[in-house]
Copies of this chain bind each other. A is one copy, B any other.
Amino acid sequence: MSNPKPSNVTAAVLLIGDEVLTGRTKDANLSHIANVLGEIGINVAEARVVQDVEERIVDAINALRNNYDYVFTTGGIGPTHDDITADCVAAAFGVGIGPHAEAYRRLEAHYAQADVEFNAARQRMTRIPHGAELIDNPVSAAPGFYIENVFVMAGIPKIMQAMLDGILSKLKGGEQMQSVTITGNIPEGTIADRMEVLQKNHDNVSIGLYPYYIAGSAGVSVVARSTDQGLLDKLAHEIAKHIQEVGGAVVERPEK
């Protein structure tokens, strides 16, 4: 946990579909998107997971696109009856939706080459909100799309990752966030007051404490984030000194 002060360009991630909500699977898309965007200085400031319910999806898209610079959605753009993301995006923007000529061409060619029937279900994937631009899908052809600041991607991690790679050049990142992590073999409560003072004295740094309890012993990772690497190097020394002054030692954080 940390304060968001150093954030500059912000994004929200909207995961659509109940695979994660039912506990069937642990989501892998959020951390991937956060890592990739972080590298170009875009700070994922919020994430939501919603079921395939039109009202919930529309409300989430509208709330997030007004609050953040970018919105990235995953899921719900396949050929089945529960794939309603494109319709929800159109509804959120108040635009129409219909077959997109280029999307149709790509999918028709893809299925012809694979000798697979381009049936009605698969043709659903050519329906794109009016005014949206396509996002390439090098894995399975069916494109994502973006409209204003909302980027709509597939839910399957491999496809989502390829789509994200393809749109990075269209995004305007901020200053890249750097971080240092110093882990001490002491409970967070032992160092909390010192870290609070350190945070108060450095407005342009975000200091977060991540405690752990493993095999009965407590420890804490202190993570400082800032766009100023020189300042972080200085703070890393100070944090290590604080850990030692309260009787602890700097250690590797245990894996689990």
Contacts and interface: CB of A to CB of B under 8 A. Distances in A.
Interface of A: 1-4, 16-28, 30-35, 38, 44-53, 56, 75-76, 78-83, 116-117, 119-122, 124, 139-140, 155-156, 158-159, 179, 187-190, 192-193, 195-196, 199-200, 207-213, 218, 223, 225
B4 A211 contact: no
A31 B38 contact: no
B27 A78 contact: no
Given A18-B2, A212-B156, A213-B140, A34 B23 contact: yes
Interface of A is mostly: mixed
B49 A46 contact: yes
A121 to B, nearest CB: 3
B81 A210 contact: no
Contact of A18 (B1, B76, B187, B190): B1
Given A28-B26, A210-B19, A213-B156, A80 B45 contact: no
Contact of A46 (B1, B48, B193): B48
A192 B119 CA distance: 10
A136 to B, nearest CB: 16
Contacts of A23: 30-35, 38, 44
A45 B21 CA distance: 7
A16 B1 contact: yes
Given A1-B75, A48-B48, A81-B195, 9 more contacts: A1-B16, A2-B82, A4-B51, A23-B32, A26-B28, A46-B49, A78-B189, A119-B189, A122-B192
Given A34-B21, A75-B1, A158-B213, A81 B196 contact: yes
Nearest to A123: B189
B120 A82 contact: no
B116 A187 contact: yes
A50 B46 contact: yes
Given A2-B52, A47-B49, A213-B158, A192 B21 contact: no
Contacts of A30: 20-21, 23, 26-27, 49
A53 B20 contact: no
